[in-house]
Structure 1
Amino acid sequence: MDTRFPFVDWFRNSSPYINAHRGRTFVVLIEGEAMANGRGDQLTQDLALLQTLGVRVVVVYGIRPQVNQALEEAGIVPQRHAGRWVADADIMRCVERVAAEQRLWLEARLSLGLPNTPMHGVEVTVVSGNLVMAKPLGVRNGIDYDRSGEVRRVRSQAIESLLDRGALVALPPLGFSSTGEVFDLNASDVAQHAAIALKADKLILLGEADGLHDVSGQLQRQLTPAEAEPLLRDAEPGSELARHLSAACEAARHGVGRTHLLSWHDHDALLGELFTRDGVGTMITQHRYEQLRPAELSDVAGLLELLRPLEERGMLIERSRERLEHQIDDYIVIDRDGMIVGCAALHPFPEAQMGELACVAVHVDYRGGSRGALLLAEVERRARRQGLNALFALTTHTAHWFFEHGFGLAAIDALPPLKRDAYNHARKSKILRKPLA
């Protein structure tokens, strides 16, 4: 149905995610390039919106380009090794000044409340402090990195207490030591350790790229850490890609549910990733976002919703809730983040050593990929495990899809006796058969 206000449908569809995200902890890294290129206002408004919707937000902000500019203005040329600079006393003065300026800017933006701004009526309390403890990199390969450091630990209990009181926590790329020193840190390293220490539900990394791409340039929607490792090995040391991939893989391996790689160039990236089913970037997770699995009784409502349009068009025979519940062990489903987007059933006829491939369906928004073939392959594996030597299917609309996947036309006599007796001659379904080698 058409609507005069397209955002209303988007808002309705986002409601499951609003409910799912409430009370969750998100660690968001915003690289300094985003602020330097005028994207700070929009991003802080999005962070405030997340806070308003009940998300527990920790924001880590980078300052790399701002520090580079300050060093250039001061005539300081830093020594760089393996993507890090040697943070001597002169450099640290610039780093500390810029970090303080960026924190004040962030606090000011999150305090904005003029009537003609998206922040009107929103009060966000921003808290920062000595929440990250650090240690020096020391001497590596003959190079003394001085006050360039790495994270020793994150004071997770202190941050949790602040989040419980409704604060938004801001972490600069700085760490403090028990000897009273301040160390320069990688912002992505801070974000990674914070996400792990807080057992965050999400780590969100906003950088230059809109995600990870395969050799053909296609955006990779989801990868496991193992699948992302080759890209990390090929990345230039110290590059943003290397830093973000390392943080994402480590976070995933240490219990962070999902890490999202997004581009700050895209004004809709943050909200689009969090409040739509398919998102806009790349997600790295130990757990598959889309998985093929056996159906469960709790899937029946999703199956009914998936099948109803196909039944109304006459492509499938109608299946009642009671029938689906009774036969649920015969079904497999493709679960995409809680939504059933595909299904198929194997109804065995062991006396004839055959199985019926039935109810093959893929949601209209997810066709054109390989999901149908994936369902068929799993049904064939199931059939072989049950000792069946052939599959058959009845169809009125999709015979060519079956032909393309190894089925051939068969006569009614090829059906098992029970199925032959139940055949609906008025429907005139084509009978297709595929031997299982």
Structure 2
Amino acid sequence: MTSNKKNKIGEYVKFFRDTSPYINNHRGKTFLLAFSGEAMSHENFNNIILDITLLQSMGIKLVLVHGIDYEKNERLKKLKDDQNQDISNVIIDHSSMSLIKDLVGSTKISIEAMLSSGAASSVMCRKKMKVVSGNFITAKPAGIKGGIDLQYTGEIRRIDSSSILKQLENDAIVLLSPIGYSPSGEVFNLNYIDLAVKSAIGLDVDKLIIFDKNEGLRGLDGKLLKTLSINEAQEYLNDPQIDHNQKQALKACSEACKKNVRRSHIVSYISNGALLEELFTRDGNGTLVLKNSVGLVRQATIDDIGGLLKLIEPQEKNGALVKRSRELLELEITRFTVLEHTEGPIISCCALYPHDGSQSAEIACIVTHPEFIDQGHARQLLEVIEKKAYAMKINRLFALTIKASHWFIENGFVQSSIDDLPIERQSLYNFQRNSKVFCKRL
């Protein structure tokens, strides 16, 4: 075997190992994917279909919401252009609605055909893929706005969530079209983004994913904004430099997160593999909108042993930390607090060891993954640990380090001496390591 081939195999093995936590984390979850008519007209949409079939093969439950390409009909294109691209405020008369129904029907059939074809040429080739659509959406007329009757422009009145969830449990992909039905038998045109948001909320999905032409949002420095909180998203919504489609996607993600959708993503429909990269890599390839911060701070559990060992091992090898065996880590797991990344892996940790018979404790094993250094995660964990210690009536925190002296000083610690440690801890001091002692009063 040539060295080049060995390197390729090594890269593949590493990639597979790196993605396995995401695969396990996503299995059984429900994702809603929303794409415009323009996205379906792009040459990369065939690859997106293949990626969708791959997601279902991993046990992910999928709801697809599609728009329609108004550019395909001159009359509909003019209607949209006249209203500055906001189809929610367009006057849809009877003849226009007939054109929309034809366009929705042909679009739905095309997606179903592509999913069938995609399954035949993918990992799902031996399994029949079920795609289900129907009258899941009850709509009402948008009514009169500004003195103008919008006629067949509609608003969502109700989503038949129980029927959709039943189809998902039966291993079907649910396809929702941007039209709704009234109890009187009328059909109304809907904004597909609005449909996606309300469906995501009603179905309590784990992820809302909106496809846009761009990778995601970019900051003033031109760099991709990989993660935004709701508050940060609002700041960008007020930015006049963001184009209409991006603003519409960001607003949808923000609204969904406000109503407890766990995570919302903006992903490019132009970039091949962007969806998989966003879902199965640490860095992603889009913009993720979260209700809260970058991750979840929580108490470590026995299931975190593998992730903790992987996180702290490099620091043990370079001598910054004393080596901990798996057995010792299992015994001390309740001492650890971890910061879990939005997609599952642990990216930072810290341990608290109370001293018996003393109102003091030692913090130890403060580690952050190299890709997330200098982003405030260690400080975030320290604040949590300090609150925890204070609640335990602890009034002094000690820390021993050979490399992070400046970090502790920056976070309110002062250099101390071995003599200041409790007697029991003094007896365990390793003079060969010659660690500096720091103390912070709470």
What interval of TM-score do these two structures reach, taking the shorter chain for normalisation?
0.7 to 0.9
Relative to structure 1, the CA distance from residue 255 to residue 357 in structure 2 (aligned partners, 3 Å threshold; closer, same or farther) is closer
1:375 maps to which residue?
381
**Could you give the per-residue CA deviations for residues 161-213 of structure 1, whole angstroms, max 9, x where no partner exists?**
43344332222211122222221110011112222333323221112343345
Runs of 4+ in 1 over 6 A off after TM superposition: 73-78, 113-119, 235-238
Match of 1:105 among 98, 104, 110: 110
Find out whether 1:4 has 2:1 as its counterpart. no
Give distance in 1, aligned partners of 2:50 and 2:56. Answer: 10
Relative to structure 1, the CA distance from residue 339 to residue 146 in structure 2 (aligned partners, 3 Å threshold; closer, same or farther) is same
1:436 maps to which residue?
441
1:345 maps to which residue?
351
**Is the 8 Å Cα contact of residues 44 and 271 (structure 2) preserved in structure 1?**
no
Match of 2:70 among 61, 67, 86: 67
1:173 maps to which residue?
178
**Is the 8 Å Cα contact of residues 380 and 436 (structure 1) preserved in structure 2?**
no
Following superposition, the deviation at residue 103 of structure 1 comes to 1.7
**Could you give the per-residue CA deviations for residues 66-105 of structure 1, whole angstroms, max 9, x where no partner exists?**
2134125997787527923211233323322222222222
Match of 2:423 among 411, 414, 417: 417
Following superposition, the deviation at residue 318 of structure 1 comes to 2.7
Following superposition, the deviation at residue 311 of structure 1 comes to 2.5
Alignment of 1:10-409 (within 5 A): 10-63=15-68, 66-71=69-74, 79-80=82-83, 83=86, 84-112=89-117, 121=126, 123-214=128-219, 216-232=221-237, 239-286=244-291, 290-321=295-326, 323-336=328-341, 337-349=343-355, 354-384=360-390, 390-407=396-413, 409=415
Following superposition, the deviation at residue 136 of structure 1 comes to 0.8
Relative to structure 1, the CA distance from residue 236 to residue 91 in structure 2 (aligned partners, 3 Å threshold; closer, same or farther) is farther
**Is the 8 Å Cα contact of residues 78 and 86 (structure 1) preserved in structure 2?**
no
Q: Which amino acid aligns with 1:340?
A: I
Following superposition, the deviation at residue 37 of structure 1 comes to 2.7
Identity across the alignment (%): 36
Give distance in 1, aligned partners of 2:146 and 2:84. Answer: 10
Relative to structure 1, the CA distance from residue 233 to residue 369 in structure 2 (aligned partners, 3 Å threshold; closer, same or farther) is closer
Give distance in 1, aligned partners of 2:79 and 2:326. Answer: 72
Deviates more, 1:402-411 or 1:193-202: 402-411
The gaps in structure 2 that reach 5 residues or longer are none
Following superposition, the deviation at residue 28 of structure 1 comes to 0.9
Q: Which amino acid aligns with 1:206?
A: F
Deviates more, 1:222-231 or 1:162-171: 222-231
- Aligned pairs, how many? 434
**Could you give the per-residue CA deviations for residues 192-244 of structure 1, whole angstroms, max 9, x where no partner exists?**
22223333232211123433455555544444545534444557999334433
**Could you give the per-residue CA deviations for residues 337-385 of structure 1, whole angstroms, max 9, x where no partner exists?**
4433222233344866544332222233433422233333444444555
**Could you give the per-residue CA deviations for residues 105-125 of structure 1, whole angstroms, max 9, x where no partner exists?**
212222326987787556433
Deviates more, 1:93-102 or 1:374-383: 374-383
Give distance in 1, aligned partners of 2:432 and 2:79. Answer: 86
SS of structure 2 residue aligned to 1:112: helix
TM-score by length of 2: 0.83
**Is the 8 Å Cα contact of residues 131 and 154 (structure 1) preserved in structure 2?**
yes
SS of structure 2 residue aligned to 1:243: helix
The gaps in structure 1 that reach 5 residues or longer are none
Taking only aligned residues, the RMSD between alpha carbons, in angstroms, comes to 3.5
Give distance in 2, aligned partners of 1:89 and 1:116. Answer: 41
Deviates more, 1:398-407 or 1:35-44: 398-407
**Is the 8 Å Cα contact of residues 126 and 169 (structure 1) preserved in structure 2?**
yes
Give distance in 2, aligned partners of 1:227 and 1:74. Answer: 34
